[in-house]
Amino acid sequence: MSGATTQTTAVVGIDLGTTYTSVAVVQNRKVTMFANDAGDKMIPSIISFVSRDEVVVGNAAKDRVATAPSRTVVSPKRLLGRGFDDREVQSFLAQQPYLAYRGPDGQALLEICQTKWAIPQICAHLLSHVRDVASARLSTDVTSAVIAVPVTFDDTRLAALQRAAKLAGFKNVDFIDEPTAAAVANRYVPGFGGVIGIYDFGGGTFDFSLVDVSGSTFKVLATAGDPWLGGDDIDLVLAEAAANQFWRQHKVDLRRQAVEWQQVKFACERAKRALAASDQATIAVPDVLRTATGMVSLELTIDRNIFARAARALITRSLDVCDRALAQAEIDKSKLSAIYMCGGTSHLAAVRDAVAAHFGVPLRDGIAPDQAVCLGASIEAAMVSQRRPASLRAKTLS
């Protein structure tokens, strides 16, 4: 694989997110996000093995979490290029219903359908899915892409992603940091200028970048990130609280039941998303326990205040990352012109309130926070396809 494409065919932008994956392209100076055949532009980053040779992706895989948990992998990006013995990896794997082993390269292998799979092989199914979607919509074989990556992706993780892309059928791949991609997407939003902060709270990673956009070209002043901080972690905090309450009521630990535990985590994700638009939401899993007197459901009502308390430590971690970037650039937060919110988790009122209080400067959404990274990657892809220098390309492997 080369670091820059030499083809004139379409180059797509991909956001391989921990929670959702998406793909877009620039055509006739217009950015278009593609939907798969099910109508999903935001495709759940979930892969399920129906058999060793048959794999489903996205919502079709999500539907199998409850029926085939040991064959279904949720958020594989969290393991991509990470050492099997890493504390965070061990913590993640301990919650999964499938077996995992240390591979020859020191990274994780997952045993599914009596076969051991490397994480790049798993992620390749996601990338292949969006490549097929783009190829169908563009009526051409798409083999070149710009993939957005967290700022914490080192050479090992980039090499793992490069391998996944090759397995998915891509021949040419460039990389761009996710916060930088978000800045690219917001470039023409009214009021965009000065030194801005890009606060990118995604499903599995948190990144923060300081970018000087006062001139004709962008200058990234500093970046910092936390590779194990995202919306998934907030879901887990809520799920732990729900499981604890269920234990107190029924003396059954749902965390020890693979199917039910996944259902609880998905219910917490739904409740979290509902709180972005409502003051109150319910964590609900019907018929989660069979007893002598009948089926018992889990139902827990939470409001924004309860959520804010539950998520406070994780939100504070994100702000600590921001302060590291500010210290690196030797910039006082009061000197920023604005903070641009990016990533699905940044929709939440608890997050926005904390960020506003911490920085004391305007918060701006600009481009939809959960689409900005993908759209920015596609704009960068258009630059690559036109053979112009990709000045914002953050990481490229040759």
**What is the domain-level CATH number for residue 280?**
3.90.640.10
Are 22 and 55 in a shared domain? yes
Q: Any catalytic annotation for residue 77?
A: yes
Are 305 and 223 in a shared domain? yes
Q: Any catalytic annotation for residue 15?
A: yes
Are 381 and 354 in a shared domain? no
Are 216 and 307 in a shared domain? yes
Are 204 and 167 in a shared domain? no
The pairing of strands 195-201 and 172-177 is unpaired
The catalytic position among 132, 174, 200, 226 is: 200
Are 308 and 235 in a shared domain? yes
- Structurally, the chain folds into a number of domains equal to 2
Indicate whether 112 belongs to any domain.
Answer: no
Indicate whether 390 belongs to any domain.
Answer: no
Are 354 and 233 in a shared domain? yes
For the record, the structure tokens of 141 come out as: 């074989």
The SS3 of residue 208 is: strand
For the record, the structure tokens of 201 come out as: 């709270």
Answer yes or no: is pLDDT of 391 > 90: no
The catalytic position among 62, 77, 265, 272 is: 77
Region 301-310 average pLDDT: 95
The catalytic position among 132, 174, 178, 269 is: 178
pLDDT in tens, 157-206: 999 999 999 999 999 999 999 999 999 999 888 889 999 999 999 999 99
Indicate the average pLDDT of the chain: 91
Cβ–Cβ under 8 Å, residues 342 and 358: no
Q: What are phi and psi of 175, to 5 degrees?
A: -125, 150
pLDDT in tens, 355-379: 999 999 999 888 888 999 999 999 9
Q: Which of 190, 133, 114, 192 is nearest to 14 (CA)?
A: 133
Q: In the structure, what pLDDT confidence band is assigned to residue 387 with cuts at 50, 70 and 90?
A: low
Indicate whether 391 belongs to any domain.
Answer: no
Look up the domain containing 166 and give its range.
11-76+92-97+121-178+372-385
Are 169 and 204 in a shared domain? no
Domain at 145, CATH number: 3.30.420.40
- List all residues 6 or more positions away from 144 whose beta carbon is below 8 Å from its beta carbon: 5, 7, 9, 10, 11, 12, 170, 171, 172, 173, 381, 384, 385
Are 353 and 379 in a shared domain? no
pLDDT in tens, 230-246: 999 999 999 999 999 99
Are 299 and 232 in a shared domain? yes
Q: In the structure, what pLDDT confidence band is assigned to residue 398 with cuts at 50, 70 and 90?
A: very low
